Structure 1
Amino acid sequence: MVEFDVKLSADGLPFLLHDDTVDRTSNGRGTAHELDWRALGEMDFGSWHGPEFAGEPAPSLYAVARCTRARHLHCNIEIKPAAGQETATGAAVARAAARLWAGAGLPPLLSSFSETALEAARAAAPGLPRALLIEGPVPADWHARLQGLGCIGLHIDTQHAEQATVRDILGRGAAVAVWTVNDPARARTLLGWGCQAVFTDELHLVRADAPGLVSR
């Protein structure tokens, strides 16, 4: 399963980008949500990663949906809105995801740190599953927030993923995924506690077929 961040261009097209600006990962400059799709399409988003990726354009959600569905990869779409665009981004990404993954065996999971974006996603595409991302310690009212948003689970920081916390979340019927886990031993521990998934940047180390890891 792959996870990626999606925001909106100035003309409302959902595309993949983690940062608020294009400065770090392209040969362009500027705030991402202030650039239209034509401007983004003229930038090189590959060279920073390596010469073999030179000329790679900004990936649209449409292109990624086609790629992942063709390769039978499941997706976790993190809705990552610009400040002040939480409602618009949540609704637009959810509508696009519902359309692009229509008929898929497993629909994409929508997640976000923004509860406003998740509320908008729920209204726009209620049939898609959602998860709430938590930064910092898991709050005492997590269950009420999850129920209010109609989310199926929490995505929590590995620094705050204690066994008692994980067991509490699982015991109340919610799913748990933990970010960002780059140590295989830590991944084994979390999966042993019952966590459904971990996020990792080190795919060559933390992978389903690694010794002691269980594919969930």
Structure 2
Amino acid sequence: MNTMMAAHPPKPADARGFTEDGIARYLADTESIDDLVAGGYLAGHDGRLIAQQLRAPQLRRAITHSVCHTVQPDVDNFYQEDGEPDADWQQRRARTVRDHCTVCPVRAACAELALRDDDTVGVRGGLAPEKLTRRLVAETTRLERARALDGRTAEARRARIAAGAELQRLSGQYLGTSGKPEKRLENIENIREAARRRDELVAAYRRAAGWTVAA
């Protein structure tokens, strides 16, 4: 039995096939980032599969739990210096990975975010630039799909912000103003329509994120 299934077996009604990818999707859809980090789900092989299911904003939130975010090491440790011999860089890189990446609870999320951002210059998630580049090439199709989903997530967020701003604008413009009764009714209906639009976008986001109504 794989480690994800042993540690967190999916409910039969929710399981999306008892495969590693299916369990990874289930965990990514049902667990918060904080819980995934606390459960050790964003490190190692299991973490790689789960990180692939997350959207870029979720990955960036996960990075706030990283060793680098906590101790703020010298960023130069993660990059080869100009003119530095490869042998010296490899030794220094190994120390950096040992001291920071191997103990990081979100190293898989760090590597996945680097791939999404096409950032393969330095060490990311314990992976050397050469390995990141190989994965970038090997996983081109998957990463293109992931970036497309990330883009739709960003567009949806902008739409929610715009809808909230429009509701606030209409409320500030119309509420408390005097005028003909029919005009006031029209203004109230405009506000209600803006509120419905805002609520629909928020509800869609919560459904996509796996939130309950109470959340």
TM-score (norm 2): 0.24
Max radius of gyration: which structure?
2
Q: Higher relative contact order at CA 8 Å, sep ≥6: structure 1 or structure 2?
A: 2
Greater share of residues in strand: 1
Taking structure 1 as the reference length, what is the TM-score of the superposition? 0.24
Kindly indicate which of the two structures has a greater share of residues assigned to helix. Answer: 2
